[in-house]
Structure 1
Amino acid sequence: DELLKRYGNDYLQIILIHSYTVDTWNQQLLTCITHLIDFICACCWWGTEKAIYIKILLSTETIIYEHIQGLIRIVGCKKFHERIASQWCNDETILIDSIFIFFMGSLLQIKNLSCFIRSETILSNIILAIAQKSCYDRISVCAYGILAEILSDEQLKEVTITDNISEFFFRILELAWNHPTQRYKRIPIPQLLTGFLTVSKNDAIQQKTAKSNKISLLIEMSEQYPITLDILWSLSFNHDIQEQLRTNRSFMNKLARLKEECNNEKMRKITFGLLWNLESSHQDRTILDITDEKIFDIMISYSHKDEIICQTIYEELIKKGYRVWIDYDQIHGNVMDAMAQAIERSHIIIICMSEQYRKSNYCRAEAHYAFQRQLKIVPILLQKHYKPDGWLLFLIGQLLYIDFTKYEFSRAIKLLLKELQIEEIIETPIKAISSRSSVESVIYKIEEIPLKKSLSLIFPKNILDWTQTNVHDWLIEHNLIQMSQILIDFDGSSLLYLNDFIKNGETKQVLSLLQQESLRRTNQCLSLIELSYFQSLIDQQRRYLTSTFSQRSTRNSNQANKYILSCCHLI
């Protein structure tokens, strides 16, 4: 840490400045930059796989993104790609290898980085080009791992290289497993397994793995390398792999033994997760009689990396009188059974979407069981740059989600409460129930809370007088959540102009433009149901406006006639 504190800023400046002139580097400068990057990379992960030192080097989000962009410019230099050797023997190979290791470590440790790289850089194109040409296997391992981190599931399915990833990993894993040193070309098995764990989350990779008939190799390796069980948990969401695991008697016996004997909390969670996925059906679960005291209005499903904001959301919902279940203390014991009980006792599940949520096996199992139990799903987005993909995109489908990264927290909470159709609640003291008490036995008596009638917001009578805030509140009051996000900058006059444009414009062109705007602002397809309802409401406002003007005109005309009549009498 002393080295990074003393030389870190100088290093960052050197990389930033010289990254813009990478095409003109001579051999001496290349050698200097190569060994400098390799040295700093070693400092960042000295003696640990966790990034305990990288925060010293990259202390702010701006510095992180600036440095990553600089490294991308360097690794994107095509003349370096052509000189990658099969051994760690020249500057170009060492340079790209060191940068890839830095990327891989940073992606695993720095929140939001994968979404930033995916949406704001061209790194995926560069890495695809290198992965297809590289003859140095450690670069290939890192390349596949990075692609699995920065590409969405849909993007990973589209690239031609996906078919090779599963085959590549199993080939080198088998060679390493059968080698006396448990390495493949100096790459240790744990490093290979870490790379495969990342790609194993992808549905396309899972299906390719199912067809490879290599599950038995992973089962064999699980005796020596516990991380393999985590890989098998990820793969076990695939139905074909489930069958392969169920029919392996020795593996099922091992899981049963681990369930009873394992004291390692992480391994117990993985074991229970695997067993949950391998159960033939959860619809047949015996659900105990649930009294009113044990029923929750809402369950919050989230990744523990988003714990702080989720606790704040929990507290806001409790204030409004909701009975909320949340894994506040991180459940111990049979986590899957506790999760199932929480879902069975809840009416609504709030799914807190982020990159980590999508990658979490536990979150995936939780969300799928809630879907099976037909809970009302309310998705919210907690991570900037992230767009739902893979199984998560399939699960939420066309549901509108509330973007907590786009609005201030107070506004986002208001949108969430509206989506939950909350009504004003008389403040009655209630007991909040956390996961620990609910898993063992819920003993708190929760009072029935009387509800007041919902209070409507008051808007200016004339739509032309509506401000942007009035428009937003009016849309929310009528449950036009998507339209409130699309028309975020509209005032009353703008609504009338849009109404005219929709009515008088070319229908196909109008819908196309609105669809583009919806995708740009909400990342979702335009809801024709909301659009139709919106048009109906605006027409009502327009009729009211016309009626008001007509009444004023009649009143003014009558007053004028009276005035003329008075003048006649005077004359």
Structure 2
Amino acid sequence: MQSKYYKQYLTEILSSTIKPIHVFFVGIIGQCAIPIHNPTFNKIYAEFFVKFYNGKHLTDNIAIQSCTLGILAQLDYAYLINDHSCISILRSIFINASSKVAKENHKNNFLLPILKIFNSLCIKSKTIACYLNSDQLVDTLLQYVTNQTDLRLNTNACVLLGHIVSDKQLDHLRISYKLTMKFVSLLDDYKEETNDILQSYLSLAIHTQIQSVIVDTYQLTDLIELSDDHPIIYDIIWKLSFHSNIVEQLIMRHDNFLKKLSLLPEMPAACGILQNVQLKNVPRLPIKDRLFSDIAVVSSRND
């Protein structure tokens, strides 16, 4: 794949009209080959993808879809994360293909890899999560969240929804309670997906509406039980602890957890939670280092 002849072939295609037969050839090679992680080829593949799919070839042809996944397989996430044109077209492809799959009522292995790409990008960058957000995509994801036909699509759609949904959309769609309880269910039922689910939960926990549901349904206990095996729980609870009623529950119901946090002075999330407890004017536990509370809103170190 890295030969100068193949590179020349791709370059020549880009200078002409890209036809489906070109997608078949390039896509099949992309599926069969190990990703080459070459910046030059990443750029060429991205340009090839954008030029072919630029609003004109949103096809439901299964062969084309399969070859498209082959092209995407050759794109590094580190490159894709900065190519908003490519991401925008991929979002349009997903929405378009979803409407056709819904009408045909059959499983489509084309959608799941795209969802996984989106989720991986959102974990790496909160900026991508904001960029992906659109009412149309949120509506599409909700169809999969409420549809139990394909549990893989159901789970990954819920995870992506957690990454991208906004306060305004939570209010307008009135889905805060159902979405929170869906995450509770996913954590119970899909142990192998726990890390990905919690990464999304971390994004979701910033919303006041979600925090209120967690307060009303006493979900802190279940989250704390996961903290030994999943350190990201501390970051989630840090975000939640900006809600005064969450802090109240920590004080009244989870004294042992607070004592445990006092033994973790090197963990920013632990110190942040304790600081929020102190801000309630309850002289519980000492905090050695003051932290700026707005650090907790950051979901990714890459942003």
Correspondence for 1:508: none
Q: 2: CA distance between counterparts of 1:75 and 1:204?
A: 28
SS at match of 2:229: coil
After superposition, residues 452-491 of structure 1 pair within 5 angstroms as: none
Correspondence for 2:204: 199
After superposition, residues 260-409 of structure 1 pair within 5 angstroms as: 262=266, 268-281=267-280, 334-336=289-291, 339=292, 361=296
SS at match of 2:264: helix
Change (3 A) 1:334 1:141: farther
Correspondence for 1:125: 139
Q: 2: CA distance between counterparts of 1:40 and 1:134?
A: 30
1:167 has 2:166 as partner? no
How many equivalent residue pairs?
258
Correspondence for 1:77: 100
1:101 has 2:121 as partner? no
Q: 1: CA distance between counterparts of 2:270 and 2:150?
A: 35
Q: 1: CA distance between counterparts of 2:136 and 2:151?
A: 23
Correspondence for 1:239: 244
Change (3 A) 1:148 1:221: closer
Change (3 A) 1:219 1:157: same
Letter in 2 for 1:106: L
Which residues of structure 2 form unaligned runs of 5+? 1-34
**1:147 Cα deviation (Å)?**
2.6
Compute the TM-score of the two structures, normalised by the length of structure 2.
0.70
Letter in 1 for 2:144: I
Contact 2:202–2:235 (Cα < 8 Å) also in 1: yes
**1:105 Cα deviation (Å)?**
2.2
Q: Report the aligned-residue RMSD.
A: 3.5
Contact 1:272–1:334 (Cα < 8 Å) also in 2: yes
Deviations 1:414-461 (A, max 9, x none): xxxxxxxxxxxxxxxxxxxxxxxxxxxxxxxxxxxxxxxxxxxxxxxx
Match of 1:33 among 49, 54, 65: 65
**1:213 Cα deviation (Å)?**
2.0
Q: 2: CA distance between counterparts of 1:215 and 1:148?
A: 18
Compute the TM-score of the two structures, normalised by the length of structure 1.
0.40
Q: 2: CA distance between counterparts of 1:362 and 1:21?
A: 37
Letter in 2 for 1:270: A
After superposition, residues 13-92 of structure 1 pair within 5 angstroms as: 13=50, 16=53, 20-22=57-59, 25=60, 29-34=61-66, 36-37=68-69, 39=70, 53-57=76-80, 60-79=83-102, 82-84=105-107, 92=108
Q: 2: CA distance between counterparts of 1:144 and 1:216?
A: 22
**1:62 Cα deviation (Å)?**
3.5
Q: 1: CA distance between counterparts of 2:116 and 2:257?
A: 34
Q: 1: CA distance between counterparts of 2:216 and 2:282?
A: 28
Q: 2: CA distance between counterparts of 1:14 and 1:21?
A: 12
Structure with larger Rg: 1
Contact 2:155–2:186 (Cα < 8 Å) also in 1: no
**1:128 Cα deviation (Å)?**
2.0
1:250 has 2:256 as partner? yes
**1:12 Cα deviation (Å)?**
0.9
Q: 1: CA distance between counterparts of 2:255 and 2:82?
A: 50
> Which has the bigger relative contact order, CA under 8 A and spacing at least 6?
2
Change (3 A) 1:190 1:33: same
Change (3 A) 1:15 1:258: farther
Correspondence for 1:136: 150
Contact 1:219–1:251 (Cα < 8 Å) also in 2: yes
Change (3 A) 1:30 1:229: same
More helix by share: 2
Q: 2: CA distance between counterparts of 1:229 and 1:283?
A: 20
Correspondence for 1:152: 166
Contact 2:204–2:210 (Cα < 8 Å) also in 1: yes
After superposition, residues 550-561 of structure 1 pair within 5 angstroms as: none
Q: 2: CA distance between counterparts of 1:239 and 1:227?
A: 21
Q: 2: CA distance between counterparts of 1:173 and 1:34?
A: 31
**1:255 Cα deviation (Å)?**
0.4
Letter in 1 for 2:119: M
Deviations 1:134-155 (A, max 9, x none): 4333423332333333332122
Contact 2:162–2:203 (Cα < 8 Å) also in 1: yes
Q: 2: CA distance between counterparts of 1:19 and 1:246?
A: 58
Change (3 A) 1:201 1:140: farther
Contact 1:19–1:73 (Cα < 8 Å) also in 2: no
Q: 1: CA distance between counterparts of 2:92 and 2:297?
A: 33
1:2 has 2:36 as partner? yes
Question: Percent sequence identity over matched residues?
Answer: 19
Change (3 A) 1:123 1:19: farther
**1:102 Cα deviation (Å)?**
1.6
Correspondence for 1:498: none
Contact 1:233–1:273 (Cα < 8 Å) also in 2: yes
More strand by share: 1
Change (3 A) 1:130 1:362: closer
Change (3 A) 1:135 1:70: closer
Contact 1:103–1:146 (Cα < 8 Å) also in 2: yes
Letter in 1 for 2:62: L
Change (3 A) 1:15 1:78: farther
Letter in 2 for 1:271: A
